[in-house]
Amino acid sequence: MKKLITSILVSLISSSSVLAQTEEDEIRLLIARAPVTQAMSKAKGLEELVIWNWLKALSYTGHTDEAFATATKIRKWMSEDQTNFAIASGLTIAGKFDEAVSLLRRAKDSSESQIFIIEILTKGGRFSEALKEARKAKNASERDNNLQTIVRELAARGEIKQALEIADGIKDGKSLSYALRHVVKGLLKAGKISEAKSLAERIQQPDDELPPLHWAIFELVSDMADDGAQENALAMVDVIENETDRSAPLSLIAESFARAGRLDEALGTARKIKDESLLSTTLTMITAANENKVASERRDGIEAADQPTVKGLLKAGKIDEALTIAQNIKDEDDRSDAFADVAEHLLRSGSYKQARLAADRCPSPVLRMEFYLEIFNELSFHRNPQLRAQIKKNHLIGVP
């Protein structure tokens, strides 16, 4: 019996080791094949973010040398400061705060790097160092912005007393107002409604801005909706006394329900909106979401037998047939989208290598990079389950 148990354990350990090596091999292959220069040469506007995020991902997964090598390849399109900011962001997620700060101190734009350094130090809970850094600002305006950043992080952590103490050092009225709104948000998040209302009433409201309480509620509702906690978000909206003022956050929650495919809840939320213009916009959005859902079901359902489509074949599990159809699509953009559908399907089913092979055949280097990044992340999350939570926790203010 002992021999049998030992044999089973050895088999399990061996299988796990082989799987881990396979994942690492795929990760290495993705890094080697990543079409970063081709993608950057074709990228426009926000599409460049995929490369920025690729550098960051290389960094937070421990492939820092590869990140710097990639940064060198794209120097024609992205400055050294920009690539270093991306790599430093990844190092921060990995908890390598000193390395991140050291890298940023080499930046040519000291003002921009300083605010980033302060964000990194606060994310690491090193508030004393962050304060020392904030006081190095060249002028009062930069100093107030630096202090505002520290107040935001303290308030987000529920350290309200310390946040208020630091906010007291902000001289500019508008900067102080913005900082205190985050404190209001922190109080609301902690369930201290009366204290939040009391502080909000004392905050000077900048021109053409939402009242501090409404702004804080909208921000918190947005966070809750993004986390899938729409019911909690709805309860927070009730803090706003005027029904018309509830319209904006209600619209946001309705949109979140619609994105999640919960159309009944989306409509129920929309019915509470009193602003007629916003109600019309929200209902249009919900209708569009419903139409997209119906259209998708039709394409992927019974009609697929008579009119074979890539998505229909994928749903039927006919991957090879889907790839053949995708390959024969003449329009390059449509062909890229078709291969993207195949890659997405395979990725969701856990077939990482097959997903990468499908992405390899996508004509668009930008779209190919997007899928390389997604596959790279999923493989990395599989090897390190805590990494996904670390990324969410260490989201940096003002950083993509």
Residue 295 is predicted with a pLDDT of: 57
3-state secondary structure at position 326: helix
For 353-367, the pLDDT digits (tens) are 888 888 888 888 998
Place of tokens 């148990």: 5
CA dihedral 282→285→290→292, nearest 10 degrees, is: -170
Q: Which domain does 364 fall in, by range?
A: 308-384
Radius of gyration of the chain, Cα coordinates, nearest whole angstrom? 25
Residue 389 is predicted with a pLDDT of: 82
For 291-312, the pLDDT digits (tens) are 766 655 554 443 333 234 666 6
Return the biggest CA–CA distance within the chain. 78
Contact 202, 190 (CB under 8 A): no
Question: For the whole model, what pTM was predicted?
Answer: 0.74
On the question of pLDDT at 215 being above 70, the answer is yes
The predicted model gives 385-398 an average pLDDT of 74
Q: How far is CA 74 from CA 31, 33, 46, 82, in A?
A: 15, 15, 16, 11
For 86-140, the pLDDT digits (tens) are 999 999 999 999 999 999 998 887 777 888 899 999 988 999 999 999 988 888 9
Burial of 139 (0-12, 13-18, 19+ CB in 10 A): exposed
CA dihedral 40→43→48→49, nearest 10 degrees, is: -120
Structurally, how many domains does the chain consist of?
1
Handedness of CA 243, 249, 255, 259 (dihedral sign): negative
Residue 390 is predicted with a pLDDT of: 82
Range among 314-318, 321-325, 375-379, 387-391 with highest mean pLDDT value = 375-379
Q: How many CA atoms lie within 13 A of 197 on its CB side?
A: 8
3-state secondary structure at position 327: helix
Residue 397 is predicted with a pLDDT of: 52
- What is the CATH classification number for the domain harbouring 355? 1.25.40
Report if residue 321 sits inside a domain: yes
Report if residue 41 sits inside a domain: no
For 158-189, the pLDDT digits (tens) are 999 999 999 999 999 999 999 999 999 999 99
Residue 236 is predicted with a pLDDT of: 93
Report if residue 281 sits inside a domain: no
Report if residue 342 sits inside a domain: yes
Considering only residues 344 and 246, tell me which one the structure prediction assigns the higher pLDDT: 246
Report if residue 329 sits inside a domain: yes
DSSP per residue, 162-216: HHHHHHTT--SHHHHHHHHHHHHHHHHHTT-HHHHHHHHHHSPPPTT---HHHHH
Whole-angstrom Cα distance, residue 340 to residue 356?
A: 10
Report if residue 374 sits inside a domain: yes
Structure tokens at 32: 């080697």
Report if residue 282 sits inside a domain: no
Residue 364 is predicted with a pLDDT of: 87
Whole-angstrom Cα distance, residue 321 to residue 184?
A: 56
On the question of pLDDT at 17 being above 70, the answer is no
Whole-angstrom Cα distance, residue 213 to residue 223?
A: 15
Range among 4-8, 305-309, 339-343 with highest mean pLDDT value = 339-343
Residue 13 is predicted with a pLDDT of: 46
Contact 187, 195 (CB under 8 A): yes
Residues of the chain with pLDDT > 90: what percent? 48
Secondary structure E strands in 13-85: none
